[in-house]
Amino acid sequence: MKTQTDSAGEHTTSAGENALTVLLLGNGSRECALAEKFHESPLLKKLYTAPGNAGTAAYGQNTALDISNPEAVGVFCASHSVDLLVSGPELPLVLGVADAVKAISPHTHVFGPGRAGARLEGSKVFAKDFMTRHAIPTAPFTVVSKGENPECAIPEATELPIVLKADGLAAGKGTLIASTAADARLMLHEMLNGAFGKSSERVVIEKFMNGPECSVFVMTDGTDYRIFPVAADYKRAHDRNTGPNTGGMGAVCPVDFADQAFMQKVRDKIIEPTLRGLREEGIEYRGIIYLGLINVDGEPYVLEYNVRMGDPETAPVLALTKSDILDAFLKTAQGRCREILPEYDSGKAVGVVVASEGYPDHAVTGRKISIDLLPDGVKLLAGGMIRNGAGELVTSSGRVCTVVGKGSTLAQARRKAYEGVCAIHFNGAWFRTDIAE
């Protein structure tokens, strides 16, 4: 068993020559949750997190590395003998970090798809066309590109509301809903003319669907797969799902409606055709496929694919994961997903995000944070939380942390999470009060 961590985050471990040096990319509560699980693994020798945050620093060594530069990440992997690269966020994957690392540091296993597979998240147009090619249930859609006459894409009033999605990455803000044709015209005009930069030079316009949503994380080596307990996040900023869209203000795991019958449909109609489609198109895929699903009268439809785990969903999902996640990621990266025997807690977990003043528009940062003793059964996963030059804990982005409560009922887990939230203090801190209500 691993016994201790030295000041540079290196463990003594019983895994001997098989012990792993890991590079984890990202700095959100998702990465803090992953770092904590990696740290629990007897396989871990050394964890680097780039850039990391005040939470990941407790589990390994934070390192300044430009994670949007695939070659720089490849060189780091080669020079630091990294055995496993894991990208928390999508941007490095969309930019081709997996391909660069494989070329520059062939010894490094990569958990995450190459640039070709990452188009499932990096281009909404690619994802919708892929689903059409492989008969995967999703809303009907059209695509409008800059320079085309968009008028014909605006539907009749009877087909409203509609959803407009920027083709490329837009930090979770690129999806708009229009309830009138006039709104749709204006939104489309603004998107095509740079509202989300180059990302919205092409726009997917699709039918609005109504129903509860969930996040399904599928860990796959392209052939075999394992599904994590299903989660659901709360995307709107304020209580009762009002206010602007955010990256997510809280999450619950598991989700009642994602029962055996529903999940069988997800496997048959979505996961297996997706993996078959990737193979038919010659796209190697080893990592996570995150299905953003909507349940319309018991039928699952894909709202979006992502190519990484969700934030904040990862925090409650991993709180219920008992098995060794580092071992599972390594096996997936090696094409040995069928050997993974995951184990999950049968309880419930609720995550509540504590945000900075001004989030999601203009988050105020640099506010000093103090944390009281956390109650038993509560975990704090740092997000935008760093130490400044004076060693003080300060806010560094909009979603400062995710507080997770666990319990045998959702009500217990919820109560714990909110008890934990009361222990976090900084000027301007706010959170939704209705997560898991």
Residues that bind ligand GLY (CB under 6 A): 172, 233, 247-248, 306, 310-311, 313
The residues near 196 (Cβ < 8 Å, ≥ 6 apart) are 166, 168, 170, 173, 174
Place of tokens 């997190």: 49
Q: Taking the complex as a whole, how short is the minimal distance between the CB of residue 78 and ligand GLY, in angstroms?
A: 30
Beta carbon of residue 186, minimum distance to ligand GLY (angstroms, whole number): 26
- Identify which of 18, 19, 20, 23 has the alpha carbon closest to the alpha carbon of residue 34: 23
Alpha-carbon span 431 to 429, nearest angstrom:
7
Kindly give, in sequence order, each residue whose CB lies less than 8 Å from that of residue 313, ignoring residues fewer than 6 positions away.
215, 217, 231, 232, 233, 248, 251, 253, 351
Tokens standing for residue 138 = 């999703």
Indicate the residue among 61 and 199 with the shorter CB distance to ligand GLY.
199
d(CA 209, CA 206): 9
Smallest gap from Cβ 313 to ligand GLY, in A, equals 6
Closer to ligand GLY by CB, 9 or 89: give it: 89
Q: Which amino acid is at 402?
A: T
Q: What is the DSSP string of 139-192?
A: --EEEEETTS--GGGSPPGGG-SEEEEESS--TT--EEEESSHHHHHHHHHHHH
CB of 231 vs ligand GLY, minimal distance in Å: 9
Q: Which is nearer to ligand GLY, 74 or 112 (CB)?
A: 112
Q: Which is nearer to ligand GLY, 217 or 418 (CB)?
A: 217
Closer residue to ligand GLY, CB minimum distance, 36 or 233 = 233
Widest CA span of the chain, in angstroms?
A: 66
Question: What is the smallest separation between the CB atom of 131 and ligand GLY, expressed in angstroms?
Answer: 18
User: Least distance (Å) from ligand GLY to the CB of residue 289?
Assistant: 13
Cβ closer to ligand GLY: 221 or 311?
311
Contact criterion met (CB below 8 Å) for 334 and 24: no
Q: Which of 230, 268, 5, 281 is nearest to 119 (CA)?
A: 281
AA identity, residue 295: N
76 vs 234, which CB is nearer to ligand GLY?
A: 234
Contact 67, 51 (CB under 8 A): yes
Nearer residue to ligand GLY within complex by CB, 87 or 306: 306
Residue 234: CB minimum distance to ligand GLY, A: 9
Q: How far is the CB of 288 from ligand GLY (least distance, A)?
A: 11
Q: How many CB atoms lie within 10 A of CB 185?
A: 15
Given the complex with ligand GLY, which of 20 and 436 has the nearer CB atom?
436
Task: Report, in Å, the least distance between residue 390 CB and ligand GLY.
Answer: 32
85 exposed, middle or buried (CB, 10 Å; 0-12, 13-18, 19+)? buried
Sort strands 20-26 and 44-51 into parallel, antiparallel or unpaired.
parallel
